[in-house]
Structures are given as structure tokens and as C-alpha cells.
Amino acid sequence: KVKETGKNNYELFMESMKRKIIDKLDLESDLRHAIEKEEFVLFYQPQIALATGEIIGVEALIRWEREGVGLVQPMEFIPAAEESSLIIPLGEWVLKTACKQNVKWIKSGIKPVLMAVNLSSKQFQQRNLVEMIERILDETGMDPTLLELEITESTAMQDIDFTIKVLKKLKEKGIRISLDDFGTGYSSLNYLKMLPIDSLKIDKSFVHDLTNSPSEETIAKSVISLAHKLNLLVVAEGVETKAQLELLKNHMCDKVQGYLLSKPVPPNEAEKLLRKAKSELEEFRGNF
């Protein structure tokens, strides 16, 4: 084998390491330029209240319109942005863009809906996070009670005292907090009780398994009823089938988000969805 390639395993390993490091640096430098050139767009995915079938919010989800590549999904660049700290300017752009959009929609006569924005772990650890958010609310004229910040369960659990302190400050401004990807981390129920949050998003991996077996259903049912006992709203993400929707409805889940209702869509399409009265939401009607 060594003779064939002329290289031993060690050399091959080093080459692949080098390649990976170069790719990473390329990605970081491209990201840096993309931030300067504002090559990003926010897509919006509607959240529907199960009780009424109405859109009561949207989640802002970033995409990168990478030159010569096309639309790049967040999983391909958010980790690099996080590692290089570029997530700080990028996250600020996201928040500002989402707030501006929310204000613009309301000014154009659309009924106010919640705007959910994801915060990464590094963003959440920033000392000046609360000040930054206040400044953006000020600059954009965004109603803080329409802003819902999503932090993942694992971000929240990193340093529980710090988390509680920051969340309290945000809640004082009227901002809502949602615990994202719930079920993928390791939060003890005791901690959940301590967190000043408003809602809990059941991770899509759980929603996916929901209809697989009675035990999966039981778990979901218990999570929902526990959340309700703690006065939290429950959002299910990644709802793809009618069977999942029915089950979530039966177990009193509050909101749903998923491809069954709509994929994340560009601003103009989101606007069209928001303008539709409930009775006009043909594609939704059949599902409720």
C-alpha cells in the first residue's frame, strides 16, 4: 500500500489535516468578507397556534448567499462563525434585520406576530449582550414584547447562575425567552424550574420519533404536561406529518412549526403568508 501511493499513513493523515485547516481558514476569511458585504438573508418560518390555526409568530433563520456557491445553510457556517467569534457581528446583524422586518411588517398593516431570533452560545456569554439588544430595540423601534430570543438547552445549562442573571435582565425589558432544542441537552427538571423562560421547544428529533411507538408518545405527553405545570408554552419543531400534528394537538401542545405547514421562506413569501387571513390559508386549512 505504501509503495502504491508513495506515502505512508502518517503523511496522508497530515495532508488531510492540512486540507482541513486550510478549508477552515478559507471559510473564516470568506465569512469575514461576507459580513462586510452583507451576503446574508433571513428566511422566516411561521409558528402556528394549535388552538386557532393562526400564525402567531415566525422564526428568523439565517442563510448565506455565498458568491459563486448559492444559498448556504446555517449548519455549514454557524459553527465556524461561532468558533472564530464572527458570530458576534453576524448575530447582531441577524437581530437588527429581524427587528427591522418585524417593524416594517407592522407598519404595512400586518397584524403583529412574535419574532423569534436564535442566540448562539458565544453571543449569550457576551458581557454586553443586554446593552446590545437594548440598543437594537431602540434603533429599530421594535416592540420588545414581540421579540422572542431562543437559546438552546445546552447554552442555558453551561452556567446556570449566569443564565438566570442574564435572562432576568432580558425579561425585565419584556423580551420573551424560549428554550430551543429541548430534549437534546441534559437539563435536570430542577433547573428547568429555576429558569425565567416562557416557552420550551421540543427538538425535532423527538417530534420525528413521536409516532413511532407508544413510549415515544408517552414521553412527549409528559414533557408537555410538565411544561404546562411550570407555566411554559410548548412549541413542537420539525412537524412534518399530519399524524404528528394530530398527536401534538391531542396532547395540548401550544404551537407547531414545521415543513407540514411551511418551510422557512424568504421575506416576501413570509409576508404573503402573514397577510392571509386564517380562512385564506388554504394549504393549512386541511391540516387543522
Residues in region 3-42 near ligand C2E by CB under 6 A: none
Q: With contacts defined by CB under 6 A, name the span among 155-163, 247-255, 257-265, 271-279 that binds ligand C2E.
A: 257-265
Q: With contacts defined by CB under 6 A, name the span among 47-55, 73-81, 124-132, 245-253 that binds ligand C2E.
A: 73-81
Query: Which helix (H) or strand (E) element contains residue 131?
Result: helix 129-140
Residue 277 near which of ligand C2E, Mg ion, none (CB within 5-8 Å, type-dependent): none
Q: Is 189 in the site for ligand C2E (CB under 6 A)?
A: no
The CA-atom distances, in angstroms, between 74 and each of 17, 28, 60, 205 are 24, 14, 12, 18
Q: With contacts defined by CB under 5 A, name the span among 24-32, 136-144, 180-188, 250-258 that binds Mg ion.
A: 180-188
Q: Is 78 in the site for ligand C2E (CB under 6 A)?
A: yes
Q: Is 264 in the site for ligand C2E (CB under 6 A)?
A: yes
By beta-carbon proximity to ligand C2E, the closer residue of 127 and 229 is 127
User: E strands, the chain, where?
Assistant: 40-49, 55-66, 70-72, 114-118, 147-152, 176-182, 199-202, 233-237, 255-257
Q: Map residues 95-124 to x or -, x wherever contact with Mg ion holds by CB under 5 A.
A: -----------------------x------
Q: Output the smallest distance, CB 25 to ligand C2E, in A.
A: 21
Cβ-Cβ contacts under 8 Å for 203 (sequence gap 6 or more): 181, 182, 183, 184, 237, 238
In whole angstroms, give the CA distance from residue 266 to residue 189.
Answer: 37
In whole angstroms, give the CA distance from residue 51 to residue 48.
Answer: 9
Contact between 61 and 285 under an 8 Å Cβ cutoff? The reply is no
In whole angstroms, give the CA distance from residue 178 to residue 280.
Answer: 29
Q: How many residues bind Mg ion (CB under 5 A)?
A: 5
Grid cell digits, residue 160: 446556570
Q: Map residues 230-249 to x or -, x wherever contact with ligand C2E holds by CB under 6 A.
A: -------xxxx---------
Q: Is 148 in the site for Mg ion (CB under 5 A)?
A: no
Q: Is 205 in the site for Mg ion (CB under 5 A)?
A: no
Q: Output the smallest distance, CB 95 to ligand C2E, in A.
A: 8
In whole angstroms, give the CA distance from residue 191 to residue 242.
Answer: 33
Residues 29, 52, 73, 188: which binds ligand C2E (CB under 6 A)?
Answer: 73
The CA-atom distances, in angstroms, between 89 and each of 38, 46, 93, 155, 209 are 11, 26, 6, 19, 36
Q: Is 150 in the site for Mg ion (CB under 5 A)?
A: yes
Binding site for ligand C2E (CB under 6 A): 45, 61-62, 73-75, 78, 91, 94, 118, 120, 150, 180-181, 204, 237-240, 257-259, 264
Binding site for Mg ion (CB under 5 A): 73, 118, 150, 180-181
